[in-house]
Copies of this chain bind each other. A is one copy, B any other.
Amino acid sequence: MDSNKNEIDHVLKQAEVGFQFLQQSDVIERAELMYAIATEIETLDEILIETAHLETALPLARLQGEKARTVNQWRRYADAVKTGLYSEARIDRDPNGQFDLRKYNKGLGPVVVFGASNFPFAFSTAGGDTASAIGAGCSVIVKAHPAHLKTSQLMADAIQRAISKYGAPDGVFSHVISDSFTIGQQLVSHKLVKAVAFTGSFRGGKALFDLAQSRPDPIPVFAEMGSVNPIFLLSDYLTNNLEAFAKQYIGSLLLGVGQFCTNPGVLVGFSGEQLDRLKLALKNELKSASTGKMLHTGILESYNRLKSEMVQYEGVGILEEGQDNTPGEFAQALLVEAQATQVLTNPKLLEEVFGPFGLVISCSDQAEMKALLEQLDGQITITFAASEKDIRECTELFAIAQDKCGRLLFQGMPTGVEVQYAMQHGGPFPATTDPRFTSVGPDAVKRFIRPISFQNWPNEFLPKELQDGNPLQIDRLINQQWTKA
C-alpha cells in the first residue's frame, strides 16, 4: 500500500477492527495465529534472503541466522502467551459474597511499529515488536523501514497470508509505505493508536516520544535508542587474560560492522603498564581485522561525521585505524584513547558513534572510575572484565552499575542477545525511553497490555482467562494462591 495522509484514517479504522477481533480471542487462539505466522515466514524462500542482502549489505549467512531467530521469536512468544503468563489472571472472591473481583491483562489497542535498519527481519516488519504486540492482543501498523522496503513487503505479505488463512480481519496487521516523514508523525498522533515501538537513533526515538507525550491523551512509546555499552577493565582479570580479551574485544567491536545496539564502544581501565600493553594488543588485533559495508550510505555518512568530531575533541588521540577504507562503501574502524579527566569534562565523548568505533579511557584510580560510572547515561549493557577478586574489591562500582543499565555482564562481550525470559534488552534513559520493559524475549509482550477488573460478572460474559473451571488451564492467582484449579 502506498500511503498518503488521507489513507491513515482508513488504516487505523481497519486496525481498530483487527484489535477488536484479537480482543475476542483467548491466549490459546492468539498463540495459534502466531504459530501460523511463524510457519509462513519460515516458508519464505531464498528470494527473501537475497532481497535483504541487496538492500542491507548484510551477509547471507547472517541473514539466514536472523530469519531463523525471527521465526523462533514468534514461536517462543506464542509459547509464553499460551501459558497465560501475561494474562496475570487474578480472582478474589469474598467469602461473605460481598464481591467477586477478577482481573486480567488485555491489549492496549493498535500499536505502531517502526523497525530497525540493522535487523531487517528480527527487529523490523515481522520482528519482536510486531510479534509481542500481537501476542498481547494488539493489532499492528508497521511503518516500513525506507532502507529495506522490498524485504519489508515480503515479510508483510507473509504475515498477511497467515492472517487471511487464519480467518482474521486484515486490520490485525497493516503495512504502511511512505517516503514522507509526516506519515510517521500522523500515525503516532492518531487517536486510535495506543502505543508505539521504535528501534533506532536517539533523535528519532526522542522525537516520537515527545510527540506521543504531547497528544491530548499521552500514550507509551518504547524506543530503543542505543548506548555505548562500556566495559570496565579490572586489574586482576587482565593479568591473566590480556591477549584473549584484546582479541575478543576487537571481534565484538567489529561484529556486523559495529552496527549493534550492544556494540562495546567504550573501554575503561586504569592507567599504567598493563593498560599500555592492552592498547598494543588491541592495535595489533585491529590492524589485521577487516570490517565491511555498512547498511546504507546514510549510516556510513553519519558514522564518518561522528568519528571525525570525536578525534577533534581535546585530549582524544588515535590509537589505530582499521583496514577497510574504500571511500563511500566500507566503514573504517577506529580506536581512540582519552584520559578520564577529559571525559569527565566533556560528556560528548560518551555519546554513541554507531559503527566500529571504540574509545579507551584511562582512569588514574578507582575514585576516577567511580566518577566516570556516575556520569554515565543509562546503558543497555555494562560489562565488568573482572575476576571475582576484582569485584570483591570494587563493590561500590558494582552497585552503581546496576542503576545504569538493563543488563550487567561478568566477563564476556555484550554483543549477542539471547531470546530468553531472563533477557533484559533495554536500560535507563537515554538507552531507551522506558527501562521498565524489554524489547527482546517473551517479556516484550508486557509492553502492550493493561489490566481490567470485572466485578460481579456472570461467568458467561467473562473472558475465558477468568471463567470458572479455568477452561484454558492457565495459572491463576485465586484468593492469593496460584492454581490451575
Contact with B along A443-485 (1 / 0, CB 8 A): 1000001111111111011000000000000010100101000
B460 touches A388 (CB 8 A): yes
Interface segment out of the listed A7-15, A164-172, A316-324, A404-412: A404-412
Interface residue ranges of A377-420 to B (CB < 8 Å): 378, 388, 391, 398-399, 402-403, 405-412, 418, 420
Residues of B within 8 A of A293 (CB): none
Interface segment out of the listed A44-52, A143-151, A212-220: A212-220
Residues of B within 8 A of A103 (CB): 421-424
Question: Which residue in chain B gives the minimum CB-CB distance to A105?
Answer: B436
- A200 interfacial contact with B, CB 8 Å: no
- A362 interfacial contact with B, CB 8 Å: no
A421 touches B452 (CB 8 A): no
Residues of B within 8 A of A106 (CB): 402
Q: Known contacts A422-B103, A461-B410: does B435 contact A443 (CB below 8 Å)? A: no
A217 touches B452 (CB 8 A): no
Question: Which residue in chain B gives the minimum CB-CB distance to A91?
Answer: B422
Q: Known contacts A20-B399, A450-B436, A452-B408: does B90 contact A422 (CB below 8 Å)? A: yes
How near does chain B come to A305, taking the closest CB pair, in angstroms?
24
Chain A interface residue bracket vs B: 35 or more
- A70 interfacial contact with B, CB 8 Å: no
Q: Known contacts A407-B455, A452-B402, A461-B391: does B422 contact A217 (CB below 8 Å)? A: no
Q: Known contacts A388-B458, A399-B23, A429-B218: does B213 contact A422 (CB below 8 Å)? A: no
Residues of B within 8 A of A450 (CB): 435-436
- A99 interfacial contact with B, CB 8 Å: yes
Interface residue ranges of A185-230 to B (CB < 8 Å): 209-210, 213, 217-218, 220
How near does chain B come to A399, taking the closest CB pair, in angstroms?
7
Q: For the complex, what is the distance from the CA of A20 to the CA of B374, rounded to whole Å? A: 14
A409 touches B455 (CB 8 A): yes
How near does chain B come to A216, taking the closest CB pair, in angstroms?
8
Q: For the complex, what is the distance from the CA of A94 to the CA of B419, rounded to whole Å? A: 12
Question: Which residue in chain B gives the minimum CB-CB distance to A94?
Answer: B418
How near does chain B come to A419, taking the closest CB pair, in angstroms?
10
Q: For the complex, what is the distance from the CA of A457 to the CA of B209, rounded to whole Å? A: 34
**Stoichiometry (number of copies):** 2
Question: Which one of B391, B412, B422, B452 lies within 8 Å of A453 (CB-CB)?
Answer: B422
Residues of B within 8 A of A406 (CB): 451-453
Residues of B within 8 A of A456 (CB): 409-412
A402 touches B458 (CB 8 A): no
Q: For the complex, what is the distance from the CA of A408 to the CA of B433, rounded to whole Å? A: 31
Residues of B within 8 A of A115 (CB): none
Q: For the complex, what is the distance from the CA of A455 to the CA of B381, rounded to whole Å? A: 10
Question: Which residue in chain B gives the minimum CB-CB distance to A436?
Answer: B450
Residues of B within 8 A of A356 (CB): none
Question: Which one of B218, B391, B461 lies within 8 Å of A433 (CB-CB)?
Answer: B218
Q: For the complex, what is the distance from the CA of A359 to the CA of B53, rounded to whole Å? A: 63
- A428 interfacial contact with B, CB 8 Å: yes
A402 touches B218 (CB 8 A): no
A458 touches B410 (CB 8 A): yes
Q: For the complex, what is the distance from the CA of A409 to the CA of B456, rounded to whole Å? A: 6
Question: Which one of B408, B428, B461 lies within 8 Å of A217 (CB-CB)?
Answer: B428
Q: 20 interchain pairs (CB within 8 A)? A: A20-B399, A90-B420, A90-B421, A92-B420, A92-B423, A101-B420, A102-B422, A210-B213, A213-B218, A217-B428, A218-B429, A220-B436, A391-B458, A408-B454, A408-B457, A409-B456, A421-B477, A421-B480, A423-B453, A443-B451
Contacts A92-B420, A218-B429 known; 10 new A-B pairs at CB < 8 A? A92-B423, A94-B418, A101-B418, A103-B424, A213-B213, A388-B460, A408-B453, A410-B455, A410-B456, A436-B450
